[in-house]
Structure 1
Amino acid sequence: MRGWEPGALTLVSLALVVGCGGAEGAGQPASSPATACEGGDAAACLSLGRAFETGDGVEVDVAQAIALYERACEGGEGRGCTAAGSRYHNGDGTTRNPARARSLFERGCEANDALACYDLAVLLGGPRAAEPDHGRARALFAAACDGGIFAACNNLGLMHRHGVGGEADEAAAAPLFERGCDGGDARACHNLALGLERGEGADPVRAATLFEQACGAGVGAACARWGVLYEEGIGVEADLARAVSIYTEACEADHVEACVNLGVLYAEGRGVEADLARARELLERGCVDARFAGCRSLGELYEEGRGVERDYARARSLYERACEAGDAGGCVGLGSLYGTARGVERDHDRASALFTRACDAGHSLGCFNLAAAFASGLGVERDRARARGLFERACELGEA
């Protein structure tokens, strides 16, 4: 049983802030910003709005802050558009109004506020986009990246890496991750490390350094992957004790990816004394609510009856959650249950479809099982040439 292997990071959520300070003075904002705002100074309106939002010299009044942000926006201050848009998007101090938020982000971006371009790109290209426009999102992330929003560099890199809104192009993604990482975006450092860990131009030593850097900045997936490098001796000297230490510290910080990898070590008795009860506890932490990292490994415990009573129905449910969340190993586990009629009716068509999904995601055992299906004609038309090619791909991916 193998630990969770972090894949692509999803596009990050809205990060909406105002980049200006509050007004000075006691009892009320200093007269100069108020007077200037009344006189049509958009930047002064923005500063005054910030004062009312944060209580800097006045009582907090979010509704007044929003009105001032919108006044700043009307005067051509893009940051005012962005600040007001964020409040309408999140429903902070006003009724939530996504359409109004989008309109304000559009205006902010047109006024050359890079953060507005970023927020608009997330609305158009993020995982929750109602009507995705990935091509435009790419252009907006590029503008935001050029404007110093380093999370945008990371997001644009992800779009290039995974072919969202255009062709997949790792060569285009890498410098974007580099730029984001240099600017202090920890997720960009993590994604840069993923590209350096293996493949053409690999630099596993630098990858280990970047994973450590991103882990220290709170990216749980980086902690999990950094520990794996110590497990497998990639870019660092193999050291199971060090891997256990990394996983334990990160798990205590509630990084569930690390909890899952630690759970796998407890299940297998590697680097720690085998403790299936502890393994189950750790894996369950990674398979609750919207967190799916531990579902596949937990499913394996139930399938094999290790530390728990064997329960194929429970294993199937866990594999389904993992597979739908993008864990190729979960798809393989689920396909195996359908292919062997354990906890479900035998369904070779369903099994081969699941193995295909896993193989397409680069999972070696998924390719191997799909090759076996083509060799035997189970769930697919027999095709020995196709089987041979898939066996070769499985081998290239590491399946002995």
Structure 2
Amino acid sequence: MRVVLVTYGSRGDVEPMMGLALRLQALGAEVRVCAPPDFAELLNGVDVPLSPVGWPIRALATGAVPGKAKAGLSDIAAELTATAYEAVVAVSEGCAAVVATGSFPAAAGARTAAEKLGVPYAFTSLSPSYLPSPHHPPPPWPGQVIPARVTDNRGLWDLNAEHKNALFGETINNHRASVGLPPVDGIRDHVFTDHPFLATDPVLGPWQETPELAVAQTGAWIRPDERPLPADLEAFLAAGAEPVYVGFGSMPMRGANAQDLSRAVIEAVRTQGRRVLLGSGWADLVLIDDRDDCFVVGEVNQQALFRRVAAVVHHGGAGTTTTAARAGTPQVLVPQVADQPYWAGRVTELGIGTGHDGPTPTAESLAAALEIALAPATGARAAVVAETVRTDGAELAAKLLLDKIGRSASAVSAD
């Protein structure tokens, strides 16, 4: 039995699928992951085969793909939909289910492939804020104009559905027609379905029940990381007091070049009397001088690292937020796009850190945020919340998915 997992996005979209893949494998399923080609080495490292989808995500995000430098999601939707569909069909032998997250057009292609193959499909949200609910508004969509008269959440979600139809409806239905499937109305709800998975921790990212959706909230899909930290990083950690980690992951930071941003964050941490540990990431953070209180790392085991730092400053991705919360380490979130403001709000509400005011930190603004994060009360609260974070989300999701497959097979047999 093969399960196909589909995502087109950054590391934060791929890691949860890796967590689910490993749990499915442990329960006896064969797994294929369809994701950007950037992640071949990462997936090979855990013996999960990759079927590449689309362009390398970092090259696309930074304008390095020829002809796509100024392309928005709607401009490349047709290609993403088709390539995701083709990736699933290419590994469809023995396919029993398709699970999708990440880019909306890619998830639409995955849904179409599942329908064409006649197998169950499950959409997964990595944030409650993406799922329609009367309890919260939708994340703002770049370029969308909201009429001043529309202020209630249901009305905003109706506009969100209309906007999705306008952006992607014709493209997705043209692709469906090309593979012999009828058109659908309500593209957003077709892709999301009325019974999605929600791969977030119930304390960090709770879901409020609503009659419109039967959401299965499982907890975050965490991939256990047993890698040791590099020897030079271990030496830096051992050489003094706990540093503050600053890294913005797969996020080019708006409004600042690498040198200016690096200087701002290093100076901010130094004002707090702390050493600095920079995660280079897509923001390309670098050293600004030769002082020995600062160190730069690339991709490392954050599950191990975050337990050994005084605070984590990051972009507000769901995975990084969960990892820091699980470590019991206070956080400062500098949200840029999408669901990142949501996570900044949750961290602030829970008292385990704070959201930075605005997407571009200065030495002064980040220092002010760090004063909150490094306060003893914040650390104590972070330690309490850490004890509540679920670690079995991927296992629960795998069991629910296998049960869904079993029920579907039984229904087919009965027919």
TM-score bucket (shorter structure): under 0.3
TM-score normalized by the length of structure 1? 0.26
Higher helix content, 1 or 2: 1
Larger-gyration structure (1/2)? 1
Relative contact order, higher structure (CA 8 A, sep 6+):
2
* TM-score where L is the length of structure 2: 0.26
Higher strand share: 2
